[in-house]
């Protein structure tokens, strides 16, 4: 059993955020190229391309809003998550499906009580960072309960 004071605080890496945004934009562009090369009528290609661009823009704006609303992430021993907002306040968050944690990289999807969604790509090394080590231990306990 973990102590109630056992927690991990993780700060998003600006370079990983740039990587996520760039990847998203490139995937949207790749999807548009694929749509425009489909063997269907020109009107359908244009319509599908416009829908794809609109949906891609919507998703990218949601990711950007999540980045703006998350300055840090805290994980407590019981599996509770908190996000530090731009006002430096810690707000409660729930873990969403699609979150993945590996040894040196993690993709966390969180939602605050007001509905703001935040997705963060995080990296760390348990040998160099106590917080990353604590996060790994807490995550193992979270996974054991599911």
Per-residue pLDDT for 128 more than 70?
yes
Rounded to an integer, the average pLDDT of 46-55 is 97
The percent of residues above 90 in pLDDT, for the chain, comes to 75
Sequence-ordered list of residues with C-beta below 8 angstroms from that of 45, at least 6 positions apart, any chain: 35, 36, 38
Per-residue pLDDT for 3 more than 70?
no
Is 137 buried (19+), middle (13-18) or exposed (0-12) by CB count in 10 A? middle
Condensed to tens digits (0 to 9), the pLDDT of residues 71-114 reads 999 999 888 999 998 888 999 999 999 999 999 999 999 999 88
Confidence of residue 115 (pLDDT cuts 50, 70, 90): confident
Which two tokens mark 123?
């990296």
- Residue 3 and residue 96: Cα distance in Å, rounded? 24
Per-residue pLDDT for 146 more than 60?
no
Condensed to tens digits (0 to 9), the pLDDT of residues 19-39 reads 999 999 999 999 999 999 999
């Amino acid at each position: 059993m973990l102590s109630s004071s056992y927690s991990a605080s993780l700060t998003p890496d600006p370079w990983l955020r740039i990587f996520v945004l760039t990847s998203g934009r490139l995937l949207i562009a790749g999807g548009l190229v694929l749509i425009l090369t489909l063997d269907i009528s020109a009107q359908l290609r244009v319509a599908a391309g416009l829908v794809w661009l609109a949906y891609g823009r919507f998703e990218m704006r949601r990711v950007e809003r999540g980045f703006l609303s998350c300055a840090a992430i805290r994980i407590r021993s019981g599996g509770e998550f908190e996000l530090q907002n731009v006002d430096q306040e810690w707000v409660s968050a729930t873990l969403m499906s699609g979150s993945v944690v590996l040894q040196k990289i993690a993709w966390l999807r969180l939602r605050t009580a007001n509905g703001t969604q935040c997705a963060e790509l995080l990296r760390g090394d348990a040998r160099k960072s106590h917080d990353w080590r604590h996060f790994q231990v807490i995550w193992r306990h979270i996974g054991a309960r599911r």
